[in-house]
Amino acid sequence: MAYSSCTLLYPNESVVCWTVCLPLHYLSISVSILTGIPVSDKTMGAINGEFTMAKKKKDRSWVRMVSTESSHVYYTEKNKRNDTGRMELKKYDPTLRRHVLYRESK
């Protein structure tokens, strides 16, 4: 836990009242009370080291690929951002034992 010392003043005077050593989250609360400026939860989380990292969007999704010459199906991942249209791939079909065209289906 991080500690910080602060000097507290009376509101309308330049006389030092006392100096204290407090954990940072207590310090921000006391500063909020003294200044009248609210401290948000986001600021409190950053002070305590509890804020989370930004999460990226899920650009990849599972798609179903169906053989054009048989009923064989397999699943693969597709990047929706790079490949907006339907995918077509030549892959090995184990039922026909040769390479055939596979198309993306819903």
Give strand ranges (E) for 25-79: 60-67, 73-79
Number of domains in the chain: 2
- CB atoms closer than 10 angstroms to residue 16: 10
Q: Under DSSP, is residue 17 helix (H, G, I), strand (E, B) or coil? A: strand
Is there a single domain that holds both residue 64 and residue 44?
no
The answer, as to whether pTM is greater than 0.75, is no
Q: Is residue 54 a part of any domain in this protein?
A: no
Q: Is residue 53 a part of any domain in this protein?
A: no
Is there a single domain that holds both residue 75 and residue 41?
no
CB 103 within 8 A of CB 66: yes
The residue segments making up the domain with residue 82 are: 60-105
Q: Is residue 55 a part of any domain in this protein?
A: no
Half-sphere exposure of 69 (CA within 13 A, CB side): 12
Residues sharing a CB contact under 8 Å with residue 54, sequence separation 6 or more, in sequence order: none
Residues sharing a CB contact under 8 Å with residue 42, sequence separation 6 or more, in sequence order: 51
Reply yes or no on whether the pLDDT at 13 is more than 60. Answer: no
Residues sharing a CB contact under 8 Å with residue 26, sequence separation 6 or more, in sequence order: none
Residue that is written with structure tokens 């003043």 in the block: 9
Is there a single domain that holds both residue 100 and residue 78?
yes
pLDDT digits over 72-101, tens only? 999 999 998 898 999 999 999 999 999 999
- Please give the pLDDT value at position 77: 94
For the domain that residue 79 is a member of, what is the CATH number? Answer: 2.20.28.120
